[in-house]
Amino acid sequence: MVKQTVTIRDIARMAGVSAGTVSRALNNSPLVREETRQKILQVVRALNYVPNRAAQRLATGKTLTLAVIVPFFTAPSVVERLKGVVHTLAQSRYDLIIHNIEDPEQRAGCFQTILRRDLVDGVLVISIAPKDEEVRLLSEADVPVVLIDAYHPALTGLLHQITVDDVAGGRAVTKYLIGLGHTKIGFVGDPADNPFNFTSSRDRARGYREALEAAGIPYRPEYYAEGPHGRRYARESARRLLALPDRPTAIFAASDVQAVGVLEAARELGLRVPQDLSVVGYDDVEIAEIVGLTTMRQRLFESGQRGVELLLRTLADPTTKPVHEVLPTELVVRETTGPPP
């Protein structure tokens, strides 16, 4: 065990006061005479004293640390949200510890250990929708939790939740394509049932079906393809769709990354975009602008930012009522969409 170079008692001795007074002086207690405080601060500066974090935590029960649980390796949109979190937290005095979820099994253990008061003061969860059996764990956690891009109906009113209305977004994209004149519209997304319990693709697909129905266009199962997230799998899915005898004239991809896969498939097959095929993505991450992709913009960075704000507010005032905020989306039309051939 290594002893600290300068402790509060050293400061106390040198300033000719007791440790308690030094502590109060540093924590801006009004119980210290201004003159005494100045003397103490002088010594503190002279010795370059910084209080021991572990001791503070033990004594106060506060950790001054927050945790973020994030599936870091899944999608660029997740990184963008994380950036929002990191940026906003930089202005506060909280430290941020990052817990990456690499595979589904880690989830349980992670939730179990993290949600304890002596480890962190609060938790942010990005893009991991709780399963039914995790609801109790989350609602009974003894630290405040904020879900970003994650949602469970049973948690409304218990936790802060920040989402977008993916069903409405999916509807809007599909309606836009229908408005262009398309009737043969395909969908490429993640498996509705996936180990991380990502719900966005599922919800966007629902909006897609609703919009078709509303326009009186029958839903054709052969136009719906799902596969693991990522460009490669999306490309394969798109290949299948585009190889159909009566192939779609437009494809709605559940994310920009997948839309790029669709574009690659189109290029392989010699289809011109948007003349032969229209493609729409979702998220508006940087790559969308680069490849000129029409997409549904989400406020990714802002979602992280907002999550931190809510968490900090709750920490400052634990009686804050948990809210469910729905961030807006916005269609960004670029060069991958046009009327059907």
Partner DNA sequence: CGGTTTAATTAAACCGGTTGCATTATACAC
Partner DNA sequence: GTGTATAATGCAACCGGTTTAATTAAACCG
Tell me, by CB under 8 A, how many residues bind a second copy. 42
Residue appearing with tokens 């609060």: 122
- Residue 54 or 244: which CB sits closer to DNA? 54
CA dist 28 and 41 (Å) reads: 11
CB-based burial of residue 191 (10 Å sphere; 0-12 exposed, 13-18 middle, 19+ buried)?
middle
Rg of the chain over all Cα atoms, to the nearest angstrom: 26
219 binds a second copy (CB under 8 A): no
Residue appearing with tokens 């370059």: 48
Residues 6+ apart with CB under 8 A from 207: 166, 167, 168, 169, 170, 171, 172, 173, 174
Provide the b/e sequence for 285-306 (b: ≥16 CB within 10 Å): bebbeebebbbbbbbbbbbbbb
Footprint of DNA on 14-73 (CB under 7 A): 16-24, 26-27, 30-33, 35-37, 49, 51-52, 55-56, 58-61
Residue 72 interacts, among a second copy, DNA, none and using kind-specific CB cut-offs from 5 to 8 Å, with: a second copy
For the CB of residue 205, give the shortest distance to DNA in the complex, in Å: 47
CA dist 299 and 164 (Å) reads: 9
- Residue 52 or 106: which CB sits closer to DNA? 52
- Residue 231 or 299: which CB sits closer to a second copy? 231
Single out the segment in contact with a second copy by CB under 8 A; choices: 174-182, 191-199, 209-217, 286-294: 286-294
Residue 16 interacts, among a second copy, DNA, none and using kind-specific CB cut-offs from 5 to 8 Å, with: DNA
| H/E segment holding residue 66 | strand 65-70
96 binds a second copy (CB under 8 A): yes
Q: Which residues bind a second copy (CB under 8 A)?
A: 1-4, 50, 52-55, 57-61, 63, 65, 72-73, 79, 83, 86-87, 90, 95-98, 100, 102, 106, 113, 116-119, 231, 260, 264, 286-287, 290-291
